[in-house]
Amino acid sequence: MPGGLGGMDIYRASFDRKKFGEKELVRNVNSAGHDCFPYVMNDKVYFTSKAFNTIGGYDFFVLDNMEVKNLGEKLNSKFDDLAIMFLDEKTGYITSSRTTNGATDDIFEFRFVE
């Protein structure tokens, strides 16, 4: 898209029940590569990228206080980890090709335990 940083970019826009406002790139999230599948929870933007420092193909990242952090090996694998959705602070779902060696994407439930 004109004005983007590279492959796929993440934008935000207002919505007033009838139409969307102007598109704006989300700062610090976009790179020259592919950045996609944003999810917002508790003022943090979770997203997938292939351009930042990754463990495998696509990895999960979070933008927290304007700093991008990889979510680490507990959620990321050496294969494509694509979308994340939280049900609450400790549980949710991810899509990943980790158990099929990249052949297909599957849905996995996760639960953080202390």
pLDDT category of residue 54 using cuts at 50, 70 and 90: confident
pLDDT category of residue 59 using cuts at 50, 70 and 90: very high
Q: Does pLDDT of 80 surpass 80?
A: yes
Q: What percent of the chain lies above the pLDDT cut of 90?
A: 66
User: For residue 15, what are its two tokens?
Assistant: 């919505």
User: For residue 88, what are its two tokens?
Assistant: 């609450």
**What pLDDT, in 10s, does the model give residues 5-53?**
878 999 989 999 899 998 888 888 998 888 999 999 999 999 999 887 8
Q: How many whole angstroms separate alpha carbon 58 and alpha carbon 77?
A: 9
pLDDT of residue 67: 92
User: For residue 93, what are its two tokens?
Assistant: 């779902």
Largest distance between two CA atoms of the chain: 45
For residue 41, give the amino acid letter. M
